[in-house]
Amino acid sequence: MPWDIHRWILLFCVILFMFKGCQNLFLRHTLTGKCIARSEKLVYNNSNYAFPYYVVMSDNCLDNKAQFRYLDSQLLHNIEMNGTLVSPIENYYKARWVVYKGVASPAKTYQTNLIHRLKQTTAGSLHFYNMKTPACAEPSSTYLLTKTYCNKSQQDFTFGKLNGTIPGGTKYFFNYLL
């Protein structure tokens, strides 16, 4: 195996190790510098079933709404809402990504469904790899949209890791470019 392939495998293993124990991370769009965050806007209001909040692009990557954690199941979990980042296929979502917090049993099953496993392509796109049709993230002016194509420059994201706070409550972080 050439050294270039070994280097990529080593980098991938190091990155997995770093983010495996990571408590907080954010996803920053490379072109705009904005981060994926949960909005205040619900897709529908049915508090007995679920809370599906639209995902928006935020200028504040350190906001609690922009903090995520990878679960062992490879689902991306929004820490503040306790919901999962999903790309629903139902028409009323308008191809927008949401943070989905299930309340009723069927909604909780949907929230934890492995179809929502998220990973990053080698070109930097975020995509749900267990879906039958490609579902990659592409920001619009406000929302994060689902596209059926991947690896375009406007779909490039980087992961950032929130390391903690300094006295006085100021958050600090390091941004790892993947």
**Interval 123-152: pLDDT, tens:** 999 988 888 888 899 999 899 999 999 999
Boundaries of every domain in the chain: 23-163
pLDDT tens digits in sequence order for the chain, 178 residues long: 555 554 555 444 444 444 444 468 999 999 999 999 999 999 999 999 999 999 999 999 989 999 999 888 889 999 999 999 999 888 889 999 999 999 999 999 999 999 999 988 889 999 888 888 888 999 998 999 999 999 999 999 999 886 655 445 545 444 444 4
Sign of the torsion formed by the C-alpha atoms of 16, 18, 21 and 22: negative
pLDDT above 90: percentage of residues in the chain: 57
Q: Which CATH architecture has domain 23-163?
A: Trefoil (2.80)
